Amino acid sequence: MRALVTGSRGFVGTHLVAHLNACADDVIEVDRVIGSPPIEDASAIGELIAEIKPDVVYHLAGQSDVAASWGDPMGTFQVNADGTLHVVRACIDAGVDRLLSVTSSDIYGMVDPDDLPITEHAPLRPVNPYAASKAAAEMVCIQGFLGHGLGVIRARAFNHLGPGQSERFLAPALAARIARNERSGNTAVPVGNLSARRDFTDVRDVVRAYRLLAIEGEPGEAYNVCSGRDVAVSEIAEILLDLATIPMTLEQDDRLFRPVDLPVQRGDNGKLRAATGWGPEIALVDTLAVTLEDARSRQTGQTGDSDG
C-alpha cells in the first residue's frame, strides 16, 4: 500500500512511519520531499499528491501545542484548519481513495462527569484555540466527504505519550525534570495541576490504530483513539518518581497551570474496536519507563534540544 504522510518528522509521525515501514507499506514522507512547513503551501501539497498518487494519505501535520495556541490563535488556525483544507482539496483533485485525518479529543471540551466516557456522538465544545482549530478541520473533512465523496476518516486522538515527545507535553516534561535532577542532585520536581485526569495511550498503540482505520474504517466517520481509562496527573508523576534513581518530591508551581484546564477526560473506544479489532497493548508503566529513558538520553546526548 502506497502511503503519504504529512507531519512525518513530528513525534507521532516518526512512530507512524516506522510502523508503516514495518508493515511493508511504500511510505512517502511529505516533510522530507518538499521541506517544512509544507502544510501551508497548498500548491506544493497538491502537486506532490497528484504526482505520488498514494492509496492513502495520513494527515498528521499541525500545531499541537495547546498553550501556544492561546498566544497565536491565528497561526494555529492557519496550520490546522487551512492546512487540512489544502490536504483535503489535493486528495479530491488527485482522486485519492483514503484520507486519515487526525484531529483531537480536545474538540469535545468540557464534559460533565455523568456523560463519561465520551463517545463520538458527544457535542463539540472547544474551549481553547487549538481545539477550535481542530473542530474546524473536522468540518473541512466532513464537507470533503459529503460534497465530493472523499473517503476521509477522522481519528480523534486522546492523550498519547512515549519516546520522542516534546517537553511541551506533560509526561516528557516531568520525565525531563526528573532526569535533570538525577544529574544535578536536586530533589524538587515542579508540577502544575495534579488533579486533572486524562485518557493516555502509548503512541505505538496509537499508530497501529491509525493504520487499521485507514484500511478498515468507514469513510465519513469519526473514531476515538483512546485507552478507555482516565488517569490522574498525580499518578503519572508518582510512577515517574518511583522510576527515578534518587528520591524526589513534587512541588506545585502555579506558573505551570493552563488558563483553562479540563478536569477529567475519558474516551469510549468501542467504535474503533468494533471496526478494527484494535486494543491498547502497552502498559502505562512501560510507556513511562521508556519516556524517562528517552529523557535521560537527551540529557546525556545533547545540551539544549528538547523537541522530538
Check which CATH number belongs to the domain holding 290 and give it: 3.90.25.10
In a domain, 89, yes or no: yes
E-strand ranges in the chain read 2-6, 26-29, 56-59, 98-102, 152-157, 159-161, 188-191, 197-202, 222-225, 230-232, 249-252
Please check whether residues 97 and 211 belong to one and the same domain. Answer: yes
Q: Which pLDDT does position 262 carry in this prediction? A: 73
In a domain, 101, yes or no: yes
Please check whether residues 94 and 130 belong to one and the same domain. Answer: yes
Q: Which pLDDT does position 308 carry in this prediction? A: 29
Q: Which pLDDT does position 67 carry in this prediction? A: 84
Identify the CATH number of the domain in which residue 51 sits.
3.40.50.720
Please check whether residues 154 and 21 belong to one and the same domain. Answer: yes
State residue 200 phi and psi, 5-degree precision: -105, 140
Please check whether residues 248 and 150 belong to one and the same domain. Answer: no
In a domain, 74, yes or no: yes
Please check whether residues 108 and 244 belong to one and the same domain. Answer: no
Please check whether residues 117 and 243 belong to one and the same domain. Answer: no
Listed as ranges, residues in the chain with pLDDT below 50 are 303-308
Q: Of 47, 39, 38, give the one whose Cα is nearest residue 77.
A: 39
Full residue range of the structural domain in which residue 220 is found: 2-160+200-225
The C-alpha cell at 254 is: 502555579
Number of domains in the chain: 2
- The DSSP bridge partners found for residue 26 are 2
34 burial via Cβ count (<10 Å: 0-12, 13-18, 19+): middle
Q: Of 220, 225, 15, 10, give the one whose Cα is nearest residue 104.
A: 225
Query: Cell 463519561 maps to which residue?
Result: 116
In a domain, 271, yes or no: no
The C-alpha cell at 213 is: 482505520
Query: Cell 518538499 maps to which residue?
Result: 34
Q: How far apart are CA 161 and CA 148, in angstroms?
A: 35
